[in-house]
Amino acid sequence: MKLPHLKLALAFLAACAAPVLSVAADGYGRSATGGTGGANVTATTAAQLKTYAESATTYTITVSGTIDLGASGRVNLKSNKTLKGANASATIKGTINLSSVNNVIIQNLNVTANTGEPASNDGISVNASTNVFITKCTIYDCTDGNLDIAKGSDNVTVSWCKFYYTRNNGHNFSNLIGSSDTDTGGYRHTWHHNWWSTGCKQRMLADRFGPCHMYNNYWNCAGNDYCTTARNVTQMLSENNYYDGVKNPLDKQNSGKLKTSGNVFNNCTGTMVTSNDSVFTPTYGYTLDTAANAKTRVLAGAGNR
């Protein structure tokens, strides 16, 4: 290879592997602006975090250090907020709860359960909420779901997040969309460049009802039960995702519809559906990586770093 061509190739590989430090709101959650225009505040204690998060005031809240939410196990994040970590060690132990809110950004945070947290608590719980953008978070060892979306929540994007478990709690079910077979609603949501890693067993995603766009995600959770299912009237568009050494990577059930293209199933077993059902067309622009390049980029950039 000639030297100029070699330099170009090396530059391309470096760009693919470079960590992603910040991400603009995109996908169905692209209208979220969070705390833009409000005051910038810092929380170092649970009391400070709850004061800012549960206020009606527009804030960008920076979490510094580890905040344990204690016996209550949750903070109720209100509308027009950005909640972000100061650095790669910024951690919330407990549940970040979004209920009937609008315009929220959560970014660059570690989220995990605290000791004694109720078994019904998620890491991040999004209920009846709109215009939500969650990005660059590491969410792990949560007692119910790592990040669940329910009660008709609409216009949500989850990107560049890492999900995993360090222990088997009997419910290593990462991400549920729609809390029941009757939990109908908008449910327009986008998931891209996320990583499901060690210990995830099920629900990566388990999706009901809404238009779901999944592209450029990566799974390497060996020992799992299943990964992604399109259920109960959902329409799922699955593009250029990479399933690596997992069981039952992709399926559709009941009346779920699924359209697939460009997915890679490397050393996988069980059900791995390819399908050309008629589904929605995304109402936004986006750029697809190949599945192989998505794997490289996700491994280098997903999660709070």
Q: Cα(81)–Cα(53) distance, rounded to whole angstroms? A: 7
Residue 5 lies in a domain: no
Residue 181 lies in a domain: yes
Instruction: Give the pLDDT confidence of 126-160 residue by residue, as tens digits.
Output: 999 999 999 999 999 999 899 999 999 999 999 99
User: Residues with Cβ < 8 Å from 210, sequence gap 6 or more?
Assistant: 154, 177, 178, 185, 186, 187, 188, 189, 234, 235
Residue 29 lies in a domain: no
Total domains in the chain come to 1
Confidence category of residue 120, pLDDT binned at 50, 70, 90: confident
Residue 10 lies in a domain: no
Q: What pLDDT score does 183 carry?
A: 65
Residue 244 lies in a domain: yes
Instruction: Give the pLDDT confidence of 246-271 residue by residue, as tens digits.
Output: 999 999 998 999 999 999 999 999 99
Containing domain of residue 44, as a range? 39-300
Cβ-based burial of 3 (10 A; exposed 0-12, middle 13-18, buried ≥19): exposed
Instruction: Give the pLDDT confidence of 201-238 residue by residue, as tens digits.
Output: 999 999 888 899 999 999 999 999 999 999 988 999 99
Of the candidates 86, 78, 76, the residue with the CA atom closest to the CA atom of residue 44: 86
Q: Which two tokens stand for residue 290?
A: 């190949």
Residue 163 lies in a domain: yes
Residue 19 lies in a domain: no
Q: Cα(127)–Cα(294) distance, rounded to whole angstroms? A: 29
Q: Domain containing 131 — which CATH number?
A: 2.160.20.10
Residues paired with 104 in a beta bridge:
81, 132
Cβ-based burial of 272 (10 A; exposed 0-12, middle 13-18, buried ≥19): middle
Quickly list DSSP for 221-283. -TT-S--EEEETT-EEEEES-EEES-BS-EEE-TT-EEEEES-EEES-BS-B---B------S
Of the candidates 213, 255, 215, 254, the residue with the CA atom closest to the CA atom of residue 236: 213
Residue 4 lies in a domain: no
